[in-house]
Amino acid sequence: LDRLRALAGVAACARVESANTFPSDAGIASSAAAFAALTLAGAAALRLDLDERQLTILTRHGGSGSACRSIPTGYVEWVVPEGPFDAARWDTESYAASLAAPEHWALADVVAVVDAGAKKIGSAENHQLAVTSAYFPTRLAEIPARMAATRTAIATRDFELLGTTMEADAVSMHVVCMTSTPPSFYWNSGTLAVIHAVRAWRAEGLQSYFTIDAGPNVHVICAAADRDEVERRLRALPGVQFTIANNAGAGARVVG
Amino acid sequence: LDRLRALAGVAACARVESANTFPSDAGIASSAAAFAALTLAGAAALRLDLDERQLTILTRHGGSGSACRSIPTGYVEWVVPEGPFDAARWDTESYAASLAAPEHWALADVVAVVDAGAKKIGSAENHQLAVTSAYFPTRLAEIPARMAATRTAIATRDFELLGTTMEADAVSMHVVCMTSTPPSFYWNSGTLAVIHAVRAWRAEGLQSYFTIDAGPNVHVICAAADRDEVERRLRALPGVQFTIANNAGAGARVVG
């Protein structure tokens, strides 16, 4: 809000009300949506004339990379400057942009909640630990090819390419956590049950792929047409407390 | 047996009887003990005068690295030639030797069996897949320092050093599996339950550390004095079917 006040040249205070329809701090990017909403609401309240890219830059300042991705519509890329991390350059040049509208590809994300409690290691602390992992440089080196594969997969609606790239990236992030000093193990019993189930379903012909944020809960991505079936199967697994399903969404918007 | 026949210059056939007191092919090195026993029994039957190092070299030919470690007594190192893998050199120069007698350090190994079934991916296939992992070169580079830490830990009976080194090495091996193409996930729900339990017990003061072979079952290493307590706690965990406990053992010997 301070950054918005500075941009608008005002010192007004704001009452912030934030509500989530799903669990917070469980590693399913709940804060991302809240920060995106807060930035957009603040900009609207102050009648700032900002384009989408400026809004995503502001959202990244306030929240995180995940947060800036919640501003644009549909399939969104978080664009970061080339070269090693540079806080000043990222503050002005790192933004999010839509790659495709939600209608481009009818996919669903079914979150299998295996632990609704707050995560034990915050994302910020986790980012600090990452550099202690011997695998971290390898992960960084892999990212450009994964980003390119993901863009191609979205452009051509290649679900197998999207899915295998997404799974490899999720595993690689958790590998960095498990090999840091000290190591962190976000996965729990339920996480592994979902991973094995998704792989078995795929072997039987039900196309679905997993991804896992910095927590134990698993996002299962499938065709929108398979969403109910995936949700039904996930709920039957031991360790799955409940599920939350969403299709590809429109970006952040002012509702009131 | 062919190699023993060649060494002894005989063509005799042998009746082989092998019995295990624990599950086979479950990733707890059951075949290692059997191959060590077979080599020793064969050499004894043919009255070959072999020293321990020669026996371990022969065992590695017939079985695996794990197998050659089952010949010497107590705490054993599998010694491999320096430099990149070279099948011919390893056949003549790779052997196992005792670092310390079982009496040197009263430790126990409690195996938490979370899946008594045969493993889905054999060790040989797994070794072939390892080279497809981007993490494999990092793992190889880490091994000399881990070996040195393990030797120091055994020599000085430093349980924390042994335990943290052992856990990091186990995780690193599974990380290579999970990041190969295609990835393999040996861990199941029970594996993760044991990992989290062991870490929680340690935080409370019960010193125990995990290691995991190429399967889902978990070896929990603890002081021999804590063995019954660790076994009791492991049996109470969801997913643990039964446990097998052993202290550090004497090497292979002819019993009949």
**3 state SS for B119-169:** CCCCHHHHHHHHCCCCCHHHHHHHHHHHHHHHHHHHHHCCHHHHHHHHHHH
pLDDT confidence band for B37 (50 / 70 / 90): confident
Q: Where is average pLDDT lowest: A3-12, A52-61, A81-90, B77-86?
A: A3-12
**pLDDT tens digits, one per residue of B179-233:** 999 999 999 999 999 999 999 999 999 999 999 998 999 999 999 999 999 999 9
**pLDDT tens digits, one per residue of A102-137:** 999 999 999 999 998 776 666 677 788 899 999 999
Q: Do A168 and B179 touch (CB under 8 A)?
A: yes
**How far is residue B75's CA from residue B60's CA, in Å, rounded to a whole number?**
17
- The pLDDT assigned to B21 comes to 62
**Chain A positions with Cβ closer than 8 Å to B:** 134-135, 138, 141-142, 167-168, 171-172, 175, 178-179, 183, 185, 187-193, 195-196, 199, 238-239
Q: Between these two residues, A253 and A202, which has the higher pLDDT value?
A: A202
**pLDDT tens digits, one per residue of B201-214:** 999 999 999 999 98
- The pLDDT assigned to A34 comes to 75
> Residue A172: which of B179, B193, B196 has the nearest Cβ?
B179
Q: Which residues pair with B113 in a beta bridge?
A: B242
Q: Provide the token pair at B124.
A: 């040989």
Q: Considering chain B, what is the average pLDDT of its residues?
A: 86
- The pLDDT assigned to A101 comes to 92
> Residue A189: which of B138, B142, B239 has the nearest Cβ?
B239
B30 φψ region: left (φ > 0), alpha (ψ -120 to 50), beta (else) = alpha
Q: Do B185 and A179 touch (CB under 8 A)?
A: no
**Chain B positions with Cβ closer than 8 Å to A:** 134-135, 138, 141-142, 167-168, 171-172, 175, 178-179, 183, 185, 187-193, 195-196, 199, 238-239
pLDDT at A239 over 70: yes
Q: Do A179 and B183 touch (CB under 8 A)?
A: no
pLDDT confidence band for B28 (50 / 70 / 90): low
The mean per-residue pLDDT over the stretch A148-162 comes to 97
Distance to chain B for A70, nearest Cα, Å: 29
**How far is residue B7's CA from residue B147's CA, in Å, rounded to a whole number?**
33
Q: Do B199 and A185 touch (CB under 8 A)?
A: yes
- The pLDDT assigned to A158 comes to 98
The single residue listed with the structure tokens 């299998």 is: A112
ipTM for the predicted complex comes to 0.83
Percent of chain B with pLDDT over 70: 87
**pLDDT tens digits, one per residue of B91-148:** 888 888 899 999 999 999 999 999 987 766 666 777 888 999 999 999 999 999 999 9
From the candidates B192, B199, B209, B240, which should be mutated to test the interface with A, based on the most A CB atoms within 10 A? B192
Please say whether the beta carbons of A207 and A222 come within 8 A. yes
Q: Do B178 and A196 touch (CB under 8 A)?
A: no
**How far is residue B60's CA from residue A4's CA, in Å, rounded to a whole number?**
69
> Residue B135: which of A138, A190, A238 has the nearest Cβ?
A138
| Domain architecture of chain B: domains with CATH | 2-103 (3.30.230.10), 105-247 (3.30.70.890)
Q: A with B: how many residue pairs have Cβ under 8 Å apart?
A: 61
pLDDT at B240 over 80: yes
- C-alpha distances in Å from residue A100, one per residue of A74, A95, A103, A248, B155: 6, 16, 8, 10, 61
- The pLDDT assigned to A33 comes to 72
Return the ∠ at Cα A211 (arms to A210 and A212), rounded to 5°: 130
Task: Please name the residues in contact with B166: beta carbons below 8 A apart, sequence gap of 6 or more.
Answer: B150, B209, B210, B211, B221
**pLDDT tens digits, one per residue of A189-229:** 999 999 999 999 999 999 999 999 989 999 999 999 999 99
The mean per-residue pLDDT over the stretch A72-87 comes to 86
Q: Considering chain A, what is the average pLDDT of its residues?
A: 86
Return the ∠ at Cα B184 (arms to B182 and B188), rounded to 5°: 150
Percent of chain A with pLDDT over 70: 87
Please say whether the beta carbons of A216 and A191 come within 8 A. yes
> Residue A189: which of B167, B179, B193 has the nearest Cβ?
B193
Q: Between these two residues, B65 and A96, which has the higher pLDDT value?
A: A96
pLDDT confidence band for A11 (50 / 70 / 90): low
Q: Do B185 and A172 touch (CB under 8 A)?
A: no
> Residue B183: which of A171, A178, A239 has the nearest Cβ?
A171
Percent of chain B with pLDDT over 90: 51
Residue B8 phi, psi dihedral angles, 5° rounding:
-85, -15
- The pLDDT assigned to A94 comes to 87
Number of other residues whose CB lies within 10 A of the CB of residue B147: 16
**pLDDT tens digits, one per residue of A55-64:** 888 888 766 7
- The pLDDT assigned to B252 comes to 78
- The pLDDT assigned to B94 comes to 87
